[in-house]
Amino acid sequence: METALLIISILLIIIVLLQSGKADGAAQILSGGNSELFKARKERGSELVISRITFVLGMAFFAICLVAMFV
């Protein structure tokens, strides 16, 4: 159980680091410089695949944590 949790957590960290940033800079996020930041932006191609893999790994991590908590 712990081995699966370790592997999933490492894969989750790697896949999150592979995702592209949706903002041009951190300053725009903090100051709200770009009002159309997420407007009309769709994920396509590799971004969509990485996003779905991130979701699946996150749900697997959550499920394994819940199972480990009750075992």
Residues 6+ apart with CB under 8 A from 4: 64
pTM of the model as a whole: 0.71
pLDDT, tens digit, 9 for 90 and up, residues 11-55 = 999 999 988 766 555 555 566 655 555 566 677 888 899 999 999
> How many residues in total does the chain contain?
71
**Cα angle 10-13-17, degrees, rounded to a multiple of 5:** 140
Write down the H helix ranges in the chain: 2-18, 26-31, 46-70
- Over residues 48-67, mean pLDDT: 95
Domain ranges of the chain: 1-17+44-71
Cβ contact 65:16 at 8 Å: no
pLDDT > 70? residue 9: yes
